[in-house]
Structures are given as structure tokens and as C-alpha cells.
Amino acid sequence: MGLVSTPEKRFADIDGYPYEPQFVDVGGPEMAYIDEGSGDETFLCLHGEPTWGYLYRKMIPTLAKEGRVVVPDFVGFGRSDKYTDREEYSYAMHYDSLVAFIEALDLDNITLICQDWGGILGLPVAANHPDRFARLVPMNTGVPSGNQEMPEAWEDFRSFVERADELPIGMLIQNATATELSEETLAAYEAPFPEEEHKAGAREWPDMVPRKNGGDGADVTQAAAKRLAEWEKPAFVLFADSDPITSGDRDPLRDLIPTASDQPDIWVEGAMHFLQEDAGKEIAEEIVAFVRRTR
């Protein structure tokens, strides 16, 4: 079991993310996070594959005017510690580290903002710890049954990740973003991964998705779906209109959570999988409006 940390100098020139990182032990590895703003509202922003907290940089200023904004990097990503062996990554490891993170910071009255793996992990954590969560904002994500067929676009993505000798993090993000990203932005997404050994978590996450004949964590996601079917607190399902991987999960998720239909039935136009890049400010404004109307 090897743990490595990305040298801080890799983050020295990150554009648009001037926040001072903090660190918390989650049972061996340390998770990095930023903590901005203050107030009774807590926005917990969870990223997915293969990004890090930087993905939320366009949303943080708007959210921080409304409350406290906590943006962690999952183990294996961003400034957090990284296992160099793919076998060290499991659904249980990520789930337990997220619970440990929330408990260590004693977060409550949380509005969960989650995308991709941020939702596959974050929604079950919320379902199992409802006293800490006030609202849900799932974006381009889902609660996999473990029995579902995956879209062709996802199968192509997973196959590419498995066979690539060197994993091109920036290219993966650009291919799933409608916005043309600058060289500085692409460099920021590449920054956490100075060597291929740092990318073990990014390589493992695609194959870990609970699905028919594969993945990990289906027992947790299936149980969480049953609890979310009885969720009584506000939920706002907010998906991009041009994501070939998760768009089919939007309506089932909106139907699953009873309170989701109380909120506007909208799509984020002109956005792809990484909708935080394509429409970050617009999404943050939608979320603030959601919080204000559900207090």
C-alpha cells in the first residue's frame, strides 16, 4: 500500500483558484479541501472523475455569498493523498472517507451539490445520514442499481481509460465539456498528476461504477435508492442537456426522489458532462434561488 502526495509547487500557478487548502485525516490518507464563506447554510460540493475541487471555481464566489462552501478532493484526486495501487481503491474506501470527512468537520445543514462520482457517493451518504443534510442538488449523476446497461459513450470512455499507456486527464475533461478550455485550465486539471502512479484512482473510478456484470458498491447504492424514495427534504435535480453519459439518468432520478418534482423542471442548456465548466455561474445562481425558496 503506497500513498503519495502531489508536490504543492504543482499548484503554485493555478488560475482562478486562490483558496488556501486545508487537510484532514480520513483513516490513513489525508483529504484536502477548501472552506470559504460562512453562515448557517453549508454547501458541500463533490467532484467526479477525473477532476478535483477546481471544477467548482466558477460557482464558489456566488455560493460563498450565501453561506459556507466546503469543497473536498476525494482520495486519489487534487491535493489529497493518492494510493499508487488501483486495488487500494474501493467503493467502501471512498464512502468511508467521505463520512469521516463530514464527521471530522462536523458539517450539518448541508446542501449537497454533487456531480458524477460525487453523486454516486454523496447521495448514499446523505440517504444514510439524513440529519446532516438539508437539501440535495444532484447534477449529471445517479444512484446506480448495479443492474443497468451503460451507454455506449461510457463504455468507450472506460475502454480508453483501461488501454491508455498514459492517461490524458486534460483531454478527457475537454472532450466532455462544451466550452473550449484554455491551456491554463487544462494545466490545472493535470496538476494533481505529475506521474502515472498518481493516476491510479482516476484509472479505477470508471471500472468501479456499479453496473450489470461489473463495478463495486451496488449493495450500498441499491439500499440508498430505497431511502431516497422516501426523502422528504428539498431536492433539485439539475442536469446538462448535452451529456451523452448521464442524460438518461435524469428523469429516473427526478422520479425517485419525491420532492424533486416540487422544483423547476429544467435542463442546463449548452452544457455537457462537466456542466460546472460550461455554466458554473448560472448553476450557482439556480442553487442559491433553490435554497432561498426552500428555507
pLDDT of residue 15: 85
Q: Are 32 and 72 in contact (CB under 8 A)?
A: yes
What are 260-282's pLDDT values in tens digits?
A: 999 999 999 999 999 999 999 99
Q: Is the pLDDT of residue 132 over 80?
A: yes
What are 156-184's pLDDT values in tens digits?
A: 999 999 999 999 999 999 999 999 999 99
8-state DSSP, 109: S
pLDDT of residue 172: 97
Residue 1: pLDDT band by 50, 70, 90 thresholds?
low
Crossing angle of helices 117-128 and 218-228, in 10° steps, is 60
What are the two backbone dihedrals, phi and then psi, of residue 73, each rounded to the nearest 5 degrees?
Answer: -105, 125
Q: Is the pLDDT of residue 115 over 70?
A: yes
What are 64-87's pLDDT values in tens digits?
A: 999 999 999 999 999 999 999 999
CATH topology of domain 3-293: Rossmann fold (3.40.50)
Domain range annotation of the chain:
3-293
pLDDT of residue 43: 98
Catalytic residues: 116, 243, 273
